[in-house]
Copies of this chain bind each other. A is one copy, B any other.
């Protein structure tokens, strides 16, 4: 699973992904400004003035359309969730789980890439709207990951009653625990271990829903 949708530089030309005209371009420009503000200053340092200056959208428009900072952050997350990311499809459950785990390590190994998603998580401690948007973002992102399990079931690599939602979260969990709670380093070996643990548990039927 990746957080790529929350990186400001994903869509270098605002509005190219959703050619919806001026409104879509404005929304993308505002989203980019929010992401760069979060990356540079974090949620506590983000201001409407910063977003206005970096998006070229007037403060009064920002207040009118987004209500304020909480609304801006929530909408940036909503928009991040509209990207076209799909989970890896390597041909085996083992390969897919390993690739998912490595995507997490790769996404957060680079501090500049990690800054915006980290700031969203930080914001969710201070803003209920950010927390709600983050829940929706991850819920949708993990449900895309469930395609990996559906394919594994088709190949006979996992039971038909496998709890796919729990399984895909279990791959990222040891990595995200270290990134955001215990503040410990993560690396490729840890990604491999997490994938191996989840694969072994899947084979043993530990993710079967009762």
- Chain A residues packing against B (C-beta within 8 Å): 42, 44, 118, 121-122, 124-126, 131-132, 134-135, 138-139, 142, 163, 166, 169-170, 172-174, 176-178, 180-184, 190, 193-194, 196-201, 203-207
Closest residue of B by beta carbon distance from A122: B125
- A121→B142 CA distance, assembly (Å): 23
- A24→B87 CA distance, assembly (Å): 53
- A207→B177 CA distance, assembly (Å): 17
Q: Which residues of B contact A182 (CB under 8 A)?
A: 134-135, 138-139, 142, 169
- A182→B135 CA distance, assembly (Å): 5
A177: which of B132, B169, B196, B197 is its contact (CB, 8 Å)?
Answer: B169
- A205→B132 CA distance, assembly (Å): 38
- A135→B184 CA distance, assembly (Å): 7
Distance from A183 Cβ to chain B, minimum over Cβ atoms (Å) = 4
Distance from A131 Cβ to chain B, minimum over Cβ atoms (Å) = 5
Whether the pair B178, A177 counts as a contact (CB closer than 8 A) is: no
Whether the pair A169, B180 counts as a contact (CB closer than 8 A) is: no
- A193→B131 CA distance, assembly (Å): 25
20 contacts between A and B (CB under 8 A): A42-B125, A118-B125, A138-B181, A138-B184, A139-B184, A166-B174, A166-B190, A166-B193, A170-B173, A172-B177, A173-B173, A173-B176, A196-B201, A197-B197, A197-B198, A197-B201, A197-B206, A201-B204, A201-B206, A203-B204
A183 touching B134 in the complex, CB below 8 Å, given contacts A173-B177, A174-B169, A178-B169? yes
Whether the pair B183, A131 counts as a contact (CB closer than 8 A) is: yes
Distance from A12 Cβ to chain B, minimum over Cβ atoms (Å) = 28
Distance from A5 Cβ to chain B, minimum over Cβ atoms (Å) = 15
